[in-house]
Amino acid sequence: MELRQGFDLKKYIRTIHDHPKPGIMFRDITTLIADPLALRASIDELVWPFLREKIDYVVGIEARGFILGGAIAHTLGRGFIPIRKKGKLPGETIERSYQLEYGEDAVEIHKDALSHGEKVLLVDDLIATGGTAQAALALLEDTGADVVAACFIVDLPDLGGRDKLVQQGVKVHTLVEFEGE
């Protein structure tokens, strides 16, 4: 039987080569969240540094950030707020666009979701270049909320996203790293 101590989360993450395009190694967490021990261990490790922090809301980025963010919010006994791709949220929204390798994308949050000074924990499954997280942080800044930290299961350090966030003064908590893209 596998014991919680020394539990190897990394082996539950499946790598799919050349998805969504040639050269990309897609780090697929669906295999991790399908496993009851790996899911529980991930959520425990993600919330661990924040159990004594004052956090008002957990904010998750569409779509895998919803799965993890919902479980983290439940564990912390806090509410969950979604950041979605443009055009999906039904109420009045604010928006931030960001650069993709080819073209542009935009994320939105409900305008009335957060108030000035509310403390939030930002969640997504993976940080690569950091573009998505930076757009989410800019959106949160627009709401006046105060970001306590950003957390991710996977960091791809060679793509530099984590360093960008840290340079912006954001605390970053990640669980496993993979080399390369």
101 is catalytic: yes
**# of chain residues touching ligand AMP (CB under 6 A):** 17
127 touches 152 (CB < 8 A): yes
7 lies in the binding site for ligand AMP (CB under 6 A): no
CB nearer to ligand AMP: give 76 or 83: 83
Active-site annotation holder among 27, 62, 64, 84: 64
Cα–Cα distance, 18 to 166 (Å, whole number): 29
Lookup result for tokens 């967490």: 29
Answer for the pair 36, 12: CB distance below 8 angstroms, yes or no: no
CA distance 122 to 100: 20
Of positions 42, 43, 120, 132, contacts ligand AMP by CB under 6 A: 132
- Name residue, tokens 């003064």: 169
126 belongs to the binding site for ligand AMP (CB under 6 A): yes
The 81-120 site mask, x for binding ligand AMP (CB under 6 A), equals: ----------------------------------------
Kindly report the CA angle at 10 between 135 and 180, in degrees rounded to 5?
60
The vertex-26 CA angle with 22 and 29, nearest 5°, equals: 165
Of the residues 92, 101, 104, 179, only one is catalytic, namely: 101
67, 78, 129, 171: residue in contact with ligand AMP (rule CB under 6 A): 129
Q: Is 161 in the site for ligand AMP (CB under 6 A)?
A: yes
